[in-house]
Amino acid sequence: MSDEKRLSDLEGVVGFLYQKVREHEEALARAGLAAAPPPPAPAAQQPAPDAATGAPSSGAAAVDETVPTAAVALGAPPLGGQAPSPPAAAPAARPPAERWESFLATGLLGRIGMIALLFGVAFFLKLAFDSNLIGPSGRVAIGLLGGALLLALGAYYERKGGASSGLGTRIFARTLTGGGLGVLYLSLFAAFAWYELFGQLQAGALMALVTATGVVLALRYDALAIAMMTFAGGYLTPVLLSTGQDRPIELFAYVLVLDLGAFAVAFFRKWRPLDALAFVATEALLLGWLSEFYDFYADPRVWLAVGLLALFFALFTLLPLVNAVVSRRKAALYELFFVFVNTVFFYATAYAVLDSHHVRSTGALSHQALLGPFTVAVAGYLGILGWLIHRRLRDADPRLAACLYALALGLTTLAIPVQLEAHPVAIGWAVEGLVLLWLGLRARSRPIEIGGDLVLLLGFFCAPLVEAQNERADQWLVLLNPAFLGHATVALSLLGGAFLYRKRVAERLDRAIQMGLACLFHLSALTGLSLELLFAVDRLGVGHGHADDAKGFALSGLWALWAAGTLAVGFLRRDVLQRIIAFTLFFITAAKVFLVDLAELAAIYRVLSFLVVGSLLVAASYLYSRWSARIEGDKS
């Protein structure tokens, strides 16, 4: 390769590097940073030949024509022959001990000091009031000026902390700001309640101005603590300025506006504790108004009380729904708990209002006529919200829909004993459980399906409990009375539930549920028939003085006949479970005959009991041996 070619390559490398330096210099100038003037471009010089051989210098020979000029440029050291300066080291993380010390010094001590300062201001105002050291106007003016001074100092240290001083200064600044807001609230309260310098309207307007100022400062400083204190002061304003007058419309209109403001700030800043503060404060004000101004025994404003409760119930129920849908995120556990607590509070409080003495004593609307539809209406509202989330808003969190469905199911189940009494309760639960089970299986919703199973179980236990607590009327007809209708409805619902599972027995859980429902059906049906048989013996006067003996024989015969019928069904349907149930009933019946009937029944009834039960047992054994081959096939 000729010397001219090598010199040309070197000139290209130097020119490339020089161009890069100029580009970086211009970029630094545009960014406002000073840059050292670049060194002048070196002139291309002819390398001196080696004295002995006349060959080019080693620096020129080092450039290989196979290496691209860009690669050489990237690997070349900076001009001037100086090594690049190392990058600035990242600031070292503060050790845990220093972080705790900073928190205790700037955060905890500052807050404790500000609380002590507020107490000091309060005690000063009280002392000044008792001793007449300063006039009322002067006391309030000192408080207002002190609060404004604290706000100004907070703003100053907030700017100072944002510029250079760091987190500790900002914490101190926000402590000053919160203290200033507290002093302003306290001074205005003293001016209204103690010194009567302001009327209620003027004091309320000034406190609203303080609240608005606190919200603006909280948003400007991005400080949750200031927002919490500001809204707490806002909710305390009607309590502090109360004159003892009952004005619920004005009070809760103000609370509604405050709630909406808290929700907006919490939503845009992701300050979820504000939601909890709004809920607790609103419900506390509702309870305070009910306990202070609402007479549960004589107040006619039932619908006003229920309407206010329903308004805030709907508002706080929609809150997590809006948060989950708009932000497209899963509902947190505290939001699900929030929905649950809100529902329980509303239902319990509204129930107490509707169940008041005044409503029941007027006679216009009975206790049952109000509470049942009210419970169903609340359940329907929650169910519609759950359906909207589950069906219409598929990207939303399914857990929120499941929570609403569960609450709706619980209230629907509760509405039955609220509206009905005695035997119709068992009937209602049985029908509801079967309907829910059908809906769950059809919609392939395991929670609704399990809910239906649980409600069926409630109906199963309710029927005998109601039977034990309510005596049968003498005028009731055999098989045509509420008690037998309740047992029959429960038994048929359990049988229907087992039938609905017939196509899903491949899954182990579904098979277990089907077997459980089948067993409960036999137990419920046999219990209802046994109680009805005992009632029939008494009602029809069977036995002619031996009613107890007739009852004992009738029960043995009924159980044996039921076992025989179950065994026949097991043979015909090739159902092993039915045959096992039949054998169990046969053994129980045989034990009763040998242990109870033999000792207690009169001779004729004892003979009849042994003959009937023995004949059925022998017939069952014969059928079993006759169809043994088919039975073995069922087992396999």
In sequence order, what DSSP letters do the residues of 394-415 get, joined into one string? TTS-HHHHHHHHHHHHHHHHHH
Residue recorded with tokens 């107890």: 548
Tell me the residue type at 389.
I
CA 148 centroid distance within chain: 41
Query: What pLDDT is attached to residue 67?
Result: 42
Query: What pLDDT is attached to residue 525?
Result: 94
> Of residues 427 and 632, which shows the higher confidence score?
427
What's the CA angle centered on 58, arms 55 and 62, to 5 degrees? Answer: 115
Q: Residue 348 gets which letter from DSSP?
A: H
Confidence check: pLDDT of 551 > 70:
yes
Confidence check: pLDDT of 279 > 90:
yes
Helix (DSSP H) and strand (DSSP E) numbers for the chain: 25, 0
pLDDT digits (tens, 9 = 90+) for 105-142: 555 676 677 677 767 767 776 676 677 777 778 878 88
pLDDT digits (tens, 9 = 90+) for 333-367: 788 888 999 999 999 999 988 887 555 555 555 54
Confidence check: pLDDT of 506 > 80:
no
Note the residue count of the chain. 636
Query: What pLDDT is attached to residue 99?
Result: 55
Q: Cα(215)–Cα(539) distance, rounded to whole angstroms?
A: 77
Confidence check: pLDDT of 80 > 60:
no
Query: What pLDDT is attached to residue 94?
Result: 52
Residue 56 binned pLDDT confidence (cut-offs 50, 70, 90): very low
Percent of the chain with pLDDT strictly greater than 90? 20
Residue 473 binned pLDDT confidence (cut-offs 50, 70, 90): low
Residue recorded with tokens 């989950």: 324
Query: What pLDDT is attached to residue 65?
Result: 41
